[in-house]
Structure 1
Amino acid sequence: MSGFEAKNFWERLNNLALVRFLLLVASGWAIVQLLAYFEAVIVIFTFAAILAFLLSYPVQWLRRFLPHGVAVGVIFLLSIVIIGSLIITVGLTVLSQGVWLALKVLIACIVLQQIQDNLIAPQIMQNALNLNPVVVFFALLVGARVAGLLGVFISIPIAGVIVSLFEIDEMKSEV
């Protein structure tokens, strides 16, 4: 094979959508495996960062009146009391209304959530990001597998960025 034919071969291979798609899948698989390895650490640190962010404002306000260590302790104990009171309130509500009614409400919530996540959200995301609904659904599945709840929230924007970055027309929706 001469130099010109080899260059032409690599140019044609580079322009093939199937090769680009396979490279995207392979790199996505590698990233998924890497993130799955660190899944617990990512989730714990993400929730810890969110909790620290949400509790930093009350601590900063309370620091004006108390030392920093005491302010952190007061805010922590207050958040534990609030979470405990919410758990007690939900428990008493379930006991007073009956377990059967609570089970019906839980089933209704699960059904409505599934309808929203599997039917309505992919259509909205398709119109907003110009992504194929199958790509949106696949991104949700991969995001949930990799990072749980956090992955569900960030999977669709990441999929949109990847599709637009690699200019994969096959994954865009047909409008």
Structure 2
Amino acid sequence: MDRQITQDDRKEDDKTESNGTFWQRISTNALVRFLLFAAVGWVLVQLINHFQYVIFVFAFAAILAILLNYPVQYLKGFLPRRFALGIVVLLSLAAIFFLALGIGVTIADQLQDIAATLTQTITSLQTPLNQVQAFLNQRNISLDLSPLQQQLQSLVFNGASWLVSYIPTLLGSYVTLIIVLVITFFMLIDEGNLWQFILRLVPQAQRDRFDRSVHRSFQGFIRGQLLISFLLGLATYIVFVIFRLPFALVLSMVVAVFDLIPGIGATLGVTLACLIVLLQSGWWVALQVLAICVILQQLQDNLLAPRIMQSTVRLHPLVVFFALLVGTQIAGLLGVFLAVPVAGAIVSFLQIEELQAA
């Protein structure tokens, strides 16, 4: 009887030990593997810093390929894959072409308006300064305002020069977009063969779990990012309508689309929206748009986004913040772009339950 109780107790202890926390299950061999993993991670950080642009292009193309693969899979139920792929690619290229054309025409018009505004500003600055200078000369006051006039003109011309110098950056962004689209197209044609090659580098015993972890994390991240951007655009539209601001629908769509780009996208969206309003409605309305967008984005970044990523990527909110900070420190914009899905894949693959969402 005592022997049976002892065996039962031992089985219970073994069961408790096997179901313990991550730190209770870790062993010496696991610690060595963890240290090796950390060393490999350090090497990867150096490689990421060196090939940051290349990794960013391929990562962005991979995310686009994942998004476009959903309609391809849907159309495969009615059409052969080649026809489905061709339809999706043609529609995507048409949408991107008209969007780029519209943005290009808008930017060209706005640059012309800015040039006209700068010319008018220079003229308006010269007139009152000349009047003040004439007033001082009539009263024999020896005060030369020409240096001030030159400084103001220099300030305006420097702003114009900055806008002109931004054009090569804009052209470089268009070239990068074309490269991303070409890589996305080939990824769709590849049908996952490249990913299968990467999986063969993983030990066979861990291959399926690694595959599931990466797909679940990145797909969850994409769903979460789409939901966050949609909610931000909806909230922006509602607030703009309440405050009776012009171009409510267009501006909210601009903010939502650019918000899909992690990190810098929100800033770009707000800047473009404020520039549009500034040229059409003046400083006061532009300041209102800026204040509303900043408040909504702070609510999104600090309250909404961590909760959504908690449910879609299954990461604890603190882990989301930590991953974003570490990613920014390691790889800048690329780190912000990949931090959350990579952290989700690592936590899921290592089965660290303490870092997953409750």
CA displacement 1:46-86 (0-9 Å, x = unmatched): 66896xx9xx526988xxxxxxxxxxxxx96x665422233
Q: How many residues align?
A: 144
**Partner residue in 2 for 1:70:** none
CA displacement 1:116-161 (0-9 Å, x = unmatched): 122211122223333221111122234455262x654543222111
Q: Select which of 73, 81, 86 maps to 2:106.
A: 86
Identity of aligned residues (%): 48
Aligned partner letter, 2:309:
M
Q: Provide the rounded CA distance (Å) in 2 between the counterparts of 1:84 and 1:57.
A: 21
Query: Mapping of 1:2-21 within 5 angstroms?
Result: 12-15=27-30
Q: Provide the rounded CA distance (Å) in 2 between the counterparts of 1:147 and 1:155.
A: 10
Q: Select which of 161, 165, 174 maps to 2:345.
A: 161
2:142 maps to 1:122: no
Q: Provide the rounded CA distance (Å) in 1 between the counterparts of 2:338 and 2:325.
A: 12
2:64 maps to 1:31: no
**Partner residue in 2 for 1:111:** 295
CA drift of 1:15 comes to: 4.8
Q: Provide the rounded CA distance (Å) in 2 between the counterparts of 1:169 and 1:163.
A: 8
CA drift of 1:171 comes to: 1.8
Contact kept in structure 2, 1:35 and 1:147, CA below 8 Å: no
CA drift of 1:104 comes to: 2.8
Contact kept in structure 2, 1:129 and 1:160, CA below 8 Å: yes
CA drift of 1:163 comes to: 0.5
TM-score by length of 2: 0.32
Q: Which moved more, 1:150-159 or 1:106-115?
A: 150-159
Query: Mapping of 1:65-84 within 5 angstroms?
Result: 81-84=101-104
Residue 44 and residue 99 in structure 1: after superposition, are their counterparts in 2 closer, same or farther (change >3 A)? farther
Structure number with greater CO (CA < 8 Å, separation at least 6) is 1
Contact kept in structure 2, 1:43 and 1:147, CA below 8 Å: no
**Partner residue in 2 for 1:57:** 90
2:191 maps to 1:171: no
CA displacement 1:81-126 (0-9 Å, x = unmatched): 4222333467564223112321331232133223212221112222
Q: Provide the rounded CA distance (Å) in 2 between the counterparts of 1:107 and 1:23.
A: 48
**Partner residue in 1 for 2:123:** none
Contact kept in structure 2, 1:118 and 1:137, CA below 8 Å: no
Q: Which moved more, 1:121-130 or 1:19-28?
A: 19-28
CA drift of 1:45 comes to: 5.8
CA drift of 1:164 comes to: 1.4
Give structure 2 stretches of 5+ with no counterpart: 1-25, 69-88, 111-271
Q: Provide the rounded CA distance (Å) in 2 between the counterparts of 1:26 and 1:129.
A: 26
**Partner residue in 2 for 1:131:** 315
Structure showing greater Rg: 2
**Partner residue in 2 for 1:4:** none
Secondary structure at the residue paired with 1:130? coil
Contact kept in structure 2, 1:126 and 1:133, CA below 8 Å: yes
**RMSD between aligned residues:** 3.9
Give structure 1 stretches of 5+ with no counterpart: 1-10, 62-74
